[in-house]
Amino acid sequence: MVGYALKRLLGAIPTLAVIVVVTFLLVRLAPGGPFDEEQPLPPEIRANLEAAYGLDQPLTVQLARYVRGLLRGDFGPSFKFKDFSVTELIATGLPVSLTLGSVAMLLAVLLGVPLGVVSALRHNRPTDHLVMGLAVLGIAVPVFVVAPLAALVFGIYLDWLPVAGWTPGEWRDIVLPATTLGLPVIAYVARLTRGSMLESLRSPFVRAACARGVPRTRRIWLHALPAALAPVVSYLGPAAAAVLTGSLVVETIFGLPGLGRYLVQGALNRDYTLVMGMVIVYAAMMILLNLLVDIAYAWLDPRVRPGTRH
């Protein structure tokens, strides 16, 4: 398993290299630039700024210089946040985004899996219909609709939770953003768990356990549930990617100083290095999360472990 993980990590290097090159070219070829203002700069000042940041050089030279900086762990200076480097902005925003995403995914697993199990055990009963109805609603309503409504109801009308801002260590600041971000994932996990649990309960090995007199609780939690979790675990990789991309909206609406907010500001300001840094960090996190999901899937299902013959 360790060799498999190392092989996947080494295989991620070409993927990251392609992402760096493609993103670099797309960002530089997009209309506008970091020094475009409502009041145009004098040509000589603009030329001096471009020379200072190396933007007057050919794209190939700029790309080579940027890659050399990346190999040293330097994402370059930010064009708009002039007192900060991109590395400093990443160090500031990454803990916020990781906390938000981790809590959202934790809620998805802790709520989605039990709801799916209960729904499967109450198949075609009112509880099943209620849970699946709520799941469909959670999938259908987009995050950018849920976030303002949650802020309006729980933050303004009921005054239970803050609607914006971030204070490290203050759990109340993360409740609304994490719940809003995790709702669609909770709904998907509940539906996947229900479907795979129903299939698992009808499988031969569960029926064999029943014939051997294994207690019902043991059949559910030790026989049926681990097999039913395999599709759920395989979904957690794309779900983590959805949480990361969804955090762009949530962090902007709730005023959280995370990576998503910096990425939006960098895109609006044509801050080349800031956009590049955020995209690279997002890509690296997605690759790592998918690797962790593959390892967890192999742990749950020995048939898909590397080197296993079927």
Query: Looking at residue 45, what is its pLDDT?
Result: 72
* pLDDT given for residue 4 in this prediction: 63
Percent of the chain topping pLDDT 90 = 0
Per-residue pLDDT, averaged over 137-154, amounts to 86
The confidence band for 1, taking pLDDT boundaries of 50, 70 and 90, is low
Report the alpha-carbon distance of residue 197 to residue 179 in Å, rounded.
Answer: 25
pLDDT in tens, 186-239: 998 888 888 888 877 777 766 777 777 666 677 777 667 777 777 787 787 778
66-75: average pLDDT:
84
102: confidence class by pLDDT, cuts 50, 70, 90: confident
- Which one is predicted more confidently, 183 or 291? 183
More reliable by pLDDT, 138 or 302? 138
| Percent of the chain at pLDDT exceeding 70 | 83
Confidence tier at 36 by pLDDT (50, 70, 90)? low
Q: pTM, whole model, 2 decimals?
A: 0.74
Model confidence at 304: pLDDT above 60: no
Asked whether the predicted pLDDT for residue 258 surpasses 60, the reply is: yes
Query: Is residue 85 scored above 80 in pLDDT?
Result: yes
- The model's confidence at residue 302, banded by pLDDT at 50, 70 and 90, is low
pLDDT value at residue 21: 87
Q: Is the pLDDT of residue 38 over 70?
A: no
93-258+282-304 — its CATH code?
Answer: 1.10.3720.10
For 20-35, how does the pLDDT look when each residue is reduced to its tens digit (9 = 90+)?
888 888 887 777 666 6
